[in-house]
Amino acid sequence: MSNFIYEGPFGKHIQDFVQLKKAIGYKYDTEARHLKGSVNIFV
């Protein structure tokens, strides 16, 4: 399991979202990696 550091204006929100998904049982590893790439667009 990788923990990405999300930066930018939506970083905290995305990190909270990924943590929620993992807490309720989803693996959410590939999706988290894709979101990490998307955050860089907004920086």
Tell me the per-residue pLDDT of 1-43, one tens digit each, with 9 for 90 and over: 467 788 888 889 988 998 999 999 988 888 888 877 765 555 5
Tell me the C-alpha distance between 36 and 8, whole Å.
11
Which pLDDT score, from 0 to 100, does residue 41 have? 54
Rounded to the nearest 10°, the torsion over CA 20, 9, 1, 26 is 30
pTM over 0.75: no
Which pLDDT score, from 0 to 100, does residue 38 have? 65
Which pLDDT score, from 0 to 100, does residue 25 have? 93
Which pLDDT score, from 0 to 100, does residue 16 have? 93
